[in-house]
Amino acid sequence: MPHAPAHADLIIQASWIAPVEGPARLLADHAIVVSGGRIADILPAADAERRWRATDTVRLDGQLLMPGLVNIHTHAAMNLFRGLADDLPLMTWLEEHIWPAEGRWVNEQFVADGTRLAAAEMIRGGTTCFADMYFFPDAIARAAREAGLRATVFCPVMDVPTAMGQGPDDYLRVATQAADDWRHDPLISIGFGPHAPYTVSDGPLQRVVTLAEELDAQIMMHVHETAAEVLMAKDATGERPLARLARLGLLSPRLIAVHMTQLEDDEIELVKTTGTHIAHCPESNLKLASGFCPVERLRLAGINIGLGTDSAASNNDLDMIGELRTAALLAKGVAGAADALPADAALAMATLNGARALGLDQQTGSLVPGKQADIIAIDLNRLETRPVFDPIAQVVYAATRDQVTHSWVAGRCLMADRTLQTLNAERILRDTQTWQEMLNG
């Protein structure tokens, strides 16, 4: 006797599904069934119609469904500084342009408006989860919530005063308060974001380690971004920054070390044995001429690497599909091997590995029954991506972000047929124009 169909909220049918995790690399003519914000089933499209009755059904011929992209390192509000200072090396860019601009302009409203602008760009580019590291974490979390994005907000910790606080005591108080305030939110997580080894002294770093343990939170820090950073520390203290972080107890699966362009063999071993994650930001590293993260060596050593754009002030976009291609191509160039970071590994870096670094891999990063329905659709039925011999290779090597048509987070639609569902694009453009006029003086 055939069973009566079960009820679901949504069925999404597509020509291909790339689950990123599980037995199948690729499924053709399948459907994803969504119920209560989670993936209830993935099955052949013909079976879905017999076994499930859904409130909504979306049919996407010529399209690929894949996990939403996970951008594990950005400073979203800095979208309002896009194009403010280009063609400069890191420390000139930071000390002579960005930090003075932040001192003048960054307040809660700036962060709210800038993060909303970034959220719209991220949704349009297929990102469903992002890790942010910027001032006024509450404003970031609220903007992410409004957009419907999943986010981990890393609260800044520095020795120096900013608009957000006078020093480490203030920053740590804000971070613990944010962790408490957002504890029960299903989409928002709070972490600690000590800025960099050259801006945070030992005491605050040790307090971050203790607090992160107590609150079960992740830590994110810019580490070994440039050769100059390592050289300066070595000259001043005799110790390389990574060795200092190891001595202070930071290296662990709680830490996401961002950039990591300068690594000796024993440091790679240290990162591996401590379970430290790496956030690879190839375009920011290229634009600031910071150096090259040895991604293929790290990957072969078994280190977990996620992908980040860094901010729109150093990238200059939050385009994770573009970043994915840059990462794949650069890895081949750096390793001198065409098979370095193959397409499937690059896609995993931009999805599941990022989720793992954030401690969110039970929830997002792959399309597996039971996980949250964080899904995007990419239209491959375009002149630029035809013929389709391998949809995954097509996404990594040929597709562009404007081919992302739909996005769902926990089953909620954030974009349909390229129209934003949660954010008001006209209002964001108006607010951005107001900021541009103010920044122009």
Ligand X SMILES: CSC[C@H]1O[C@@H](n2cnc3c(O)ncnc32)[C@H](O)[C@@H]1O
Q: Contacts with Zn ion: how many residues (CB under 5 A)?
A: 1
How open is the CA angle 355-361-364, to the nearest 5 degrees? 75
Contact (CB, 8 A) for 352 and 366: yes
CB-wise, 280 or 371, nearer to ligand X? 280
The residue from 158, 298, 321, 377 that contacts ligand X (CB under 6 A) is: 158
For 137, other C-beta atoms within 10 Å of its C-beta total: 28
Q: Map the footprint of Zn ion across residues 291-350, applying CB under 5 A.
A: 310
What is the chain's Cα-based Rg?
21
Tokens encoding 274? 């401590």
Which positions from 40 through 79 interact with ligand X, judged by CB under 6 A?
A: 75
Which one, of 93, 110, 116, 112, lies nearest residue 313 by Cα?
93
Task: Kindly write down the DSSP assignment for every residue of 191-237, as one continuous string.
Answer: EEEE--TTTS-HHHHHHHHHHHHHHT--EEEEES-SHHHHHHHHHHH
Instruction: Find the part of the chain contacting ligand X (CB under 6 A) among 14-22, 34-42, 190-198, 200-208.
Output: 190-198
Q: Is 225 annotated as a binding residue?
A: yes
Q: Token pair of 72, please?
A: 């594990």
Helix or strand holding residue 348 (H, E):
helix 343-349
Residue 98 interaction partner, one of ligand X, Zn ion, none, beta carbon < 5-8 Å per kind: ligand X
Instruction: Count CB neighbours of 249 within 10 A.
Output: 16
Q: How many residues bind ligand X (CB under 6 A)?
A: 18
Q: How many CB atoms are closer than 10 A to CB 191?
A: 26
Least distance in angstroms from the C-beta of 283 to Zn ion: 12
Please state the closest distance from residue 265 (CB atom) to ligand X, in A. 25
CB of 57 to ligand X, least distance (A): 43
156 binds ligand X (CB under 6 A): yes
Work out how close the CB of 92 gets to ligand X at its nearest, in angstroms, rounded to a whole number.
12
Q: Which residue is nearest to Zn ion (CB)?
A: 310
Give whichever of 100 and 333 is closer to ligand X, judged by the CB atom.
100
Residues annotated within the binding site for Zn(2+) are 73, 75, 222, 310
Interface residues toward ligand X, by CB under 6 A:
75, 90, 94, 98, 102, 133-134, 156, 158, 193, 195-196, 222, 225, 284, 310-311, 314
